[in-house]
Amino acid sequence: MNNIVAIVGRPNVGKSTFFNRLIQRREAIVDSVSGVTRDRNYGKSEWNGKEFSVIDTGGYIKGSDDIFEAEIRRQVELAIDEADAIIFMVDVEEGITPMDAEVAKLLRKVTKPILIAVNKVDNAMREKDAIEFYNLGLGEYYTIAGMNGSGTGELLDALVKALPEMPDAVEEENPLPRFCVVGRPNAGKSSFINALIGEDRFVVTDIAGTTRDAIDTKYNRFGFEFNLVDTAGIRRKAKVKEDLEFYSVMRSVRAIEHSDVIILMIDATRGFEGQDQSIFWLAEKNRKGIVILVNKWDLVEKDTMSTRDYEAKIREELQPFTDVPILFVSALTKQRLLKALETAVEVFENRKQRISTSKFNETMLPIIERTPPPALKGKYVKIKYCMQLPTPTPQFVFFANLPQYVKDPYKRFIENQLRQIYNFSGVPIDIYFRQK
């Protein structure tokens, strides 16, 4: 399990620059992922062999200055509830502002690790100025320069040392697949699960899951056993406004990271909103299987919008990853609920499938021969061999003489061909080109 680290502080102190530095370090290790990482506020980072998830509270604030204070306060309270450690960022140029003092007051009551990062310290003079941050009453501080990264190493050393040990997931003989139901508040997550469980004699146990307070329900249907994870009940704090976009995303992070298939419920009467997109890209970024359920379809005026139009609108928002099952359901009338589960099971199987190397070459090489990558600067790219990597999620590698000349449009072409031939519906795919 990963720890969650939240970066808090008022606007314009450099949270996003620091956040980008953290997650790029991580992305440089794995490989850049094709497509757009739309949701810039969540990423994975790694330091000294320890992996953790980072949440930047900065990008969520909208509105004028007078709303800032209440919003920041709310985000800090949320970070205190949900994160395992907090980096509180301040700006040496401005010194301690009233808003910083306010945030510090909230943080002083907390027993979790809190690290003060004093940003924009890029010379000895500013190093001296930073001393005033002792007055925040939060102990030691770390000086950094977000732009060039100096000081980041010491801060991260202290951070990974301070992170609590996470319990290892208990390795079971044959762990059951986990299907996680996520979505914005009031999309009908609980009704969906209650409808399934209510009419069903097969429920075995309720066990508290690893996601804090998320409930795992062991479920047996279609001769298939799995855990159904309900995130609806996770930590609903009265003092946190339910409509705060950051809140749903933050609460979904842990649940998504530890599931196999994500069932994203959206409210048909509201459409596919920003928050639904954030959760979708979070699942995509974690390489999970995804099924989208449009709930409350019984409440939509059918003459204004057919399922085809509605589905087309959603797929437009999902570009470039559009190969995702979308089902129209009603938790209230129990319409198509079992179909939804069957689809989740199919997506789980798709994500697990392995294609033999000989079969894969037989299928893909003729396609590549007919439509090779476009020549660049008079150089021709030749692809002679390809295979599926032995990874938990589908990843494919194509060996070429000049892999650096293969651009994104061609990668997408290969992915589309692959999806047409093999069933990877609902499953993100990674495609790499390597030197042969």
Look at residue 385 and tell me whether its pLDDT is greater than 50: yes
DSSP secondary structure of 69-130:
HHHHHHHHHHHHHH-SEEEEEEETTT-S-HHHHHHHHHHTT--S-EEEEEE---SHHHHHHG
Superfamily of domain 357-435: K homology (KH) domain (3.30.300.20)
- C-alpha closest to that of 124 among 147, 92, 88, 159: 92
Q: pLDDT by residue (tens digit) across 51-107?
A: 888 887 764 444 445 566 677 777 788 778 878 999 999 999 989 988 899 889 989
Whole-number pLDDT of residue 29: 32
Helix axes 337-352, 189-198, angle to 10 degrees: 100
Mean pLDDT of 115-129: 89
Whole-number pLDDT of residue 43: 78
Contact 23, 16 (CB under 8 A): no
| Residue 222 pLDDT level (bands cut at 50, 70, 90) | low
Whole-number pLDDT of residue 264: 93
Whole-number pLDDT of residue 22: 84
Task: Give CA–CA dist 111/412, Å, rounded.
Answer: 48
| Residue 177 pLDDT level (bands cut at 50, 70, 90) | confident
Cis before 374? omega within 30? no
Whole-number pLDDT of residue 26: 42
In this structure, of 195-199, 374-378, 417-421, the range with the lowest mean pLDDT score is: 195-199
Task: Give CA–CA dist 305/82, Å, rounded.
Answer: 39
Residue 91 β-bridge partners = 119
| C-alpha of 167 from chain center | 21
Q: Do domains 3-162 and 178-352 have the same CATH topology?
A: yes
| Residue 202 pLDDT level (bands cut at 50, 70, 90) | very low
For the chain, give the percent of residues with pLDDT over 70: 81
More confident residue, 4 or 293: 293
Residue 121 β-bridge partners = none
Mean pLDDT of 410-414: 93
Share the mean pLDDT of the chain: 80
Burial class (CB in 10 A: 0-12, 13-18, 19+), 351: buried
Q: Which residues are annotated as a binding site for GTP?
A: 9-16, 56-60, 119-122, 183-190, 230-234, 295-298
Give me the residue spans of the domains in the chain. 3-162, 178-352, 357-435
Q: pLDDT by residue (tens digit) across 236-282?
A: 444 444 444 565 666 677 778 888 999 999 999 888 887 788 888 88
CATH (residue range 178-352): 3.40.50.300
Q: Which residues are annotated as a binding site?
A: 9-16, 56-60, 119-122, 183-190, 230-234, 295-298
Look at residue 30 and tell me whether its pLDDT is greater than 50: no
Look at residue 167 and tell me whether its pLDDT is greater than 70: no
- Tally of CB atoms within 10 A around 370: 7
Task: Give CA–CA dist 156/87, Å, rounded.
Answer: 10
Instruction: Give the number of C-alpha atoms closer than 13 A to the C-alpha of residue 296, restricted to the C-beta side.
Output: 16
pTM: 0.70
Whole-number pLDDT of residue 231: 74
For the chain, give the percent of residues with pLDDT over 90: 31
Please give the class, per CATH, of domain 3-162: alpha beta
